[in-house]
Structure 1
Amino acid sequence: MKYQNLETKLFVNNRINLIKHLKNNSLAIFNANDEFPRSGDQTFPFKQNCDLFYLSGIDQEKTILLLYPDCPNPLYREVLFLRQTNEHIKVWEGLKYTKSMAEQTSGIKKICWLEDFDHILHSIISYADHIYLNTNENNNTVQPIAYRDIRFIEEMKSRYPLHHYERAAPILRQLRETKSETEVQLIQKACDITRDAFIRVLKFTRPQVTEYEIEAEIIHEFIRQRATGHAYPPIIASGNNANILHYCDNNQICKENELILMDFGAEYANYNADLSRTIPVSGRFTPRQKSVYKSVQNVLKEAKKLMKPGISANDYNENVGELMTAQLVGLGLITMEEVKNQNPAYPAYKKYFMHGISHHLGLDVHDFAHRYTPFQAGNVLTCEPGIYIPEEGFGIRLENNILLTEEGNIDLMADIPIDAEEIEEIMNSSI
């Protein structure tokens, strides 16, 4: 891993909080992600299962965590199983966790090799009443592939059919959406690296530069500061490309008087940042571009004020819709007559602002959280209004990451340039 060692207490506390939610005499098992084949003899870069990392801090393939707090044998109340390294693996793949390194990282005393998992599990499972197993229950996606957790569930139910099986995911959803102080610090670190990459881009961008050259500047700064890499595929969308919400070809020349909508973020220690900014290729906004830009920024400012513990996502989105409607009317993009006659299921503003305003952020960019419970202190949320005008050849999105507290919101990206005039000043100071 490129990132620096993390505090062990983060993972110890996460396990303590999980155990509080388990039924009496329960055993819980968490698996590492698969190593997915790419082509030939290659695999895609490994990304750890976020729940396993959350509970152990172990960032290595073929890892299993077993928790059985009521186990009659105290040796097996917390057990971490690792792939055993050897000289061949050391030569070809490099350093892997030793038992002492894994104990230092996770705070777990009992570290075993993976080959011992079946024997140890079989020796204690008959004493447990409930077995908690995990799956990816993020409802933003459907998993068509039988990934490791799914295969493991089938195997467990075949071998031990009479146990009471429970879902670990609802507990992790509840725990992960409220960030600890250490987690906030890690997200802040990812935001700080993202800030430096953005400032680098401001000083680099000029007419005739390509979208992929901008992407290269970003990843350069990320890796230089020990980030793992991109939190998600970066969007570097010049001109009308900005009206493709998930544009990621990043292969066009940035032309004079165009805007570039950039959506990117660093991943640091598996925690993510998520930034959107829109800048003028030539270093100056046109009057129309600046007018739309300031409308988006006004929505961002007011939407951040609405993000308070206790507000429901539905009420929040409705209020933001009213803010956006007022701005679009002021820009002449929609009329009050259209607003008056709009379909409540698809309001008039959706023609120019068609995506959501916020999502949870953390170990996943679209982090695991309950979409139907009110926001609460400790949530980290994006705030990302946008106005997209294909007929005028540009789109604008601005996005910051916000920590909710009882005393008021904290903008984790407050020091990243956002005012149009500041962006123009930085871009022209390097000429």
Structure 2
Amino acid sequence: MNKDTYIENRSKLMNSVEDNSVMILFAGKPAKKTGDEFYQFTPDKNFYYLTGIQEDGHLVVLSKYNNIVSEKLFLTDLDLDKEMWSGKTLRDFEGKEISGINDVSYMKEFTSYLNVLIKGKEKVNLYLDLDREEFEESDSVSNRFAKEIISKYPHINIKNFTSIIAPLRMVKSENEIKEMRKAIEITIEGVKSLMKNVKAGMKEYEIEAYFDFECKTRGVKDYAFRTIAAAGKNATILHYVDNNSELKDGDLILFDLGAQWNLYNADITRAFPINGKFTQRQKEVYEAVLRVNKAVIERIKPGVDSRELNVWAKDLIAQECIGLGLIKEKSEVNRYYWHKIGHSLGLDTHDLGILGREFTFAEGMVFTVEPGIYIAEENIGIRIEDDILVTKDGCEVLTKNMIKEIDEIEEFMK
């Protein structure tokens, strides 16, 4: 994507913010792995959404006073000695070209600039990314910065800006959808490779390697999440990632995976027989899940309430479980299905942590549809997940090129 995309993203954001406000977003730092080694760096997705910059250590300041918006990008200070070991960091002209922000400086000037923005003001709203997944989670750089600001500028009103940026990020632009289509296209090729090469006696991680190879040869640098390669009973564990069991003849294997392209994610789940042929019972369960998958996709359109969709989908799965002889009452369905029907997808796999939150579908949203039935006592776990783009009067299945009919799967695996 080019800088015009990020300019437009910032414009939409600042139009949603009240006057006398300052927003500060940090790119973040890579987490330390051990010694002098760090984990692969992924920028804060909100920072990337507004700047297009993928390098660590930078920050952006957006301010609005008297309804006039100012933008300033701060890049990490130059360290030529360090660059000899770790490579060159962004220069000011490069930051300007990527982000479309004309005012670019270096971190050594940040505190003085911030003081000018705040000094002498009677009221200032300071927006920071303060979301956390759980109470015990360690403080982020934004959380730590908020504590420091409050100690030095007690008149500042600290606010969490997630509620402002979330609606913007949930509705994807044409450029964002283009990136996601590419991620999905690569993911589909990876799944096809799995289906072509799977055989009994392999380890889950061995067959997973075929997906990795397809992604890497197509330029993928990272994945949407850790691949789930779950054979037999392992597929009844929702987030199984050990991927070290042996594939057995007669079992199914469930793959939940996704390539990432320019930080935008795909998310597909398919289950197929290791020997290429479904048993009768596997067919019955698979068809039950597939009927729900199709019914939910058919129902999605602008104006649909996500909470109501989840309740309706769970009821469908309960009916299917009764038909399969697994339960007698719908209230028992939690024994075989216990997650939501899907989640928003984009820069994050569970975009903005929207999983479990309520919203109304709107044109431009991308959502996953992933019903499942998990029968541990029968070593059968099936989930069928597609990525859906909400359109003006319905939805488009972005993953339509990934086969999911039983006859198609068995024919392909011949």
| Per-residue Cα deviation, 1:311-348 (whole angstroms, up to 9, x for no partner) | 2222111211222122222222223xx23xxxxxxx22
Aligned to 2:343: 359
What do you get for the CA RMSD once the two structures are aligned?
1.9
Aligned to 1:308: 301
Within the alignment, does 1:42 sit opposite 2:37 as a pair?
Answer: yes
Give the letter aligned to residue 218 of structure 1: F
> Percent identity over the alignment?
33
Could you list the structure 1 runs, at least 4 aligned residues long, displaced by more than 4 angstroms after superposition. Answer: 140-143
Given that 1:34 and 1:147 are in contact with CA atoms closer than 8 Å, whether structure 2 keeps it comes out as no
Give the letter aligned to residue 316 of structure 1: L
| Per-residue Cα deviation, 1:273-331 (whole angstroms, up to 9, x for no partner) | 11100011101111111121111111100011122221222211121122212222222
- Aligned mates of 2:135, 2:189 — CA distance in 1: 35
Within the alignment, does 1:295 sit opposite 2:288 as a pair?
Answer: yes
1:326 is aligned, of 316, 319, 324, to 319
- Aligned mates of 1:233, 1:187 — CA distance in 2: 18
- Aligned mates of 1:269, 1:250 — CA distance in 2: 26
Aligned to 2:408: 422
Within the alignment, does 1:60 sit opposite 2:36 as a pair?
Answer: no
- 1:187-198 matches, within 5 Å, as 187-198=180-191
| Per-residue Cα deviation, 1:105-141 (whole angstroms, up to 9, x for no partner) | 1111111111111122222322653233323426x54
1:399 is aligned, of 376, 385, 408, to 385
Given that 2:21 and 2:127 are in contact with CA atoms closer than 8 Å, whether structure 1 keeps it comes out as no
- Aligned mates of 1:7, 1:127 — CA distance in 2: 38
CA spacing shift, 1:253–1:294, aligned 2, 3 Å = same
3-state SS of paired residue (1:52): helix
How far 1:69 sits from its partner (Å)? 3.6
1:106 is aligned, of 94, 99, 103, to 99
1:133 is aligned, of 127, 137, 141, to 127
Aligned to 1:123: 116
| TM, length-normalised to structure 2 | 0.94
- Aligned mates of 2:5, 2:251 — CA distance in 1: 45
Aligned to 1:13: 8
| Unaligned 5+ runs, structure 1 | 1-5, 340-346
- Aligned mates of 1:35, 1:152 — CA distance in 2: 17
- Aligned mates of 2:81, 2:216 — CA distance in 1: 28
Identify the structure with bigger relative contact order (alpha carbons < 8 Å, sequence gap 6+).
1
- Aligned mates of 1:121, 1:134 — CA distance in 2: 14
Given that 1:130 and 1:166 are in contact with CA atoms closer than 8 Å, whether structure 2 keeps it comes out as no
Given that 1:63 and 1:81 are in contact with CA atoms closer than 8 Å, whether structure 2 keeps it comes out as yes
| TM, length-normalised to structure 1 | 0.91
2:372 is aligned, of 379, 382, 386, to 386
Given that 2:19 and 2:66 are in contact with CA atoms closer than 8 Å, whether structure 1 keeps it comes out as no
Give the letter aligned to residue 52 of structure 1: F
Give the letter aligned to residue 168 of structure 1: F
- Aligned mates of 1:127, 1:26 — CA distance in 2: 14
